[in-house]
Amino acid sequence: MRKTIVLAGMLLFSVSTQAQILDAIKSAVKDNTGIDLNTPVKTTTSTTTPKNTSATSSPINLGSLTSTQISSGLKEALSLGVNEGVKKLGVTDGFLKNEAVKILMPEKLRKVDTTLRSLGLGSLADQGVKLLNRAAEDAVTEAAPIFTKAITSMTITDAKNILLGSDNAATNYLQTKTQSQLFTAFQPKVKASLGKVGADSVWKGIISKYNMLTGQSVTTDLNEYVTTETINGVFKMVAEKESGIRNTPAMRTTSILQKVFGAQDTK
């Protein structure tokens, strides 16, 4: 019992001594640094506030452009694409030697092509494809005024969105809005060209020979097919020109093109 009391006394003395030493240290720190160790230091949690980029997400300044100016710039780019496209396509081999727009055998007649070639009549099949392209090359020369009318009568209510859209946004817009009316206006031109270059008579012979050899009865509307393919070919050329104007300042040859498309350079 006496030993226990002695041990307890020694422990209390040790704790008391440690407390006195700690108080002395705290006092010395406060005197030398001004920091009171008895006062808890508040810790702050560092949070990173995400930058608000909404105000600067679109560095393009279209404030100085009116919808009318933007519409005029887009229409001019489309008109240039049509005129240049028609000029390139409306010559010998303009369609035939341009892989991007070359008119192939109609899908419905691909088996005709395969059968003719298997029977050693590949030259006849080649002649048929060649004349489809010759008809398109002849007919497309009549396309410019039809396309131009569609462009000038086009109302662009969402001009800014089209300007800031994809590289061929204006072309896509025009094609969506005018495909059917262009087809109606252009189909008679293609029909005349099919007869002019002899494509209609050659294809009658091709299909007749195929039907005789296979015992089948195949028909197709070449006029509808070539009309659609010719129009699509022109649109491909227009899209190529639009993309060039959007991405190559040197291709902006007029003040309105420079002003309108210069505004979207940083998009």
Confidence of residue 109 (pLDDT cuts 50, 70, 90): confident
Task: Measure the CA–CA gap between 84 and 161, rounded to whole angstroms.
Answer: 25
Percent of the chain with pLDDT over 90: 52
94-to-86, 139, 164, 209 alpha-carbon distances in Å:
9, 12, 32, 29
Could you give the count of Cα atoms lying within 13 Å of 116 in the half-sphere of its Cβ?
Answer: 23
pLDDT over 90 at 59, yes or no: no
pLDDT (average), residues 226-235: 96
**136, 191 contact by CB (below 8 A):** no
pTM of this structure: 0.73
> What is the tens place of the pLDDT at every residue in 124-183?
889 999 999 999 999 999 999 999 999 988 888 888 889 989 999 999 999 998 999 999
pLDDT over threshold 80, residue 243: yes
- Residue 235 placed within a domain: yes
Residue 19 has pLDDT above 60, yes or no: no
Within a domain: 105: yes
Predicted confidence (pLDDT) at residue 8 exceeds the cutoff of 50: no
Does 27 reside within a domain?
A: no
In this prediction, residue 140 carries a pLDDT of 95
Within-domain flag for 73: yes
- Domain that residue 168 falls in: 67-266
pLDDT tens for 171-182 read 999 999 899 999
In a domain, 1, yes or no: no
The better pLDDT of the pair 52, 150 is held by 150
Domain annotation covers residue 58: no
Check residue 58 and give its pLDDT: 43
Q: Is residue 50 part of a domain?
A: no
Please report the beta strands in the chain, taking only residues with DSSP state E, as ranges in sequence order.
none
Please indicate, yes or no, if residue 12 is contained in any of the structural domains: no
pLDDT tens, 75-92?
999 999 999 999 999 999
Residues 197-225 have pLDDT tens digits of 999 999 988 888 888 888 888 777 899 99
DSSP sequence for 174-228: HHHHHHHHHHHHHHHHHHHHHHHTTHHHHHHHHHHHHHHHHS------HHHHHHH
Q: What is the largest CA-CA distance in the chain?
A: 132
Q: What is the mean pLDDT of the chain?
A: 81
Query: What's the structural domain count of the chain?
Result: 1
Q: How confident is the model at residue 26 (pLDDT cuts 50, 70, 90)?
A: low
| pLDDT at 187 > cutoff 80 | yes
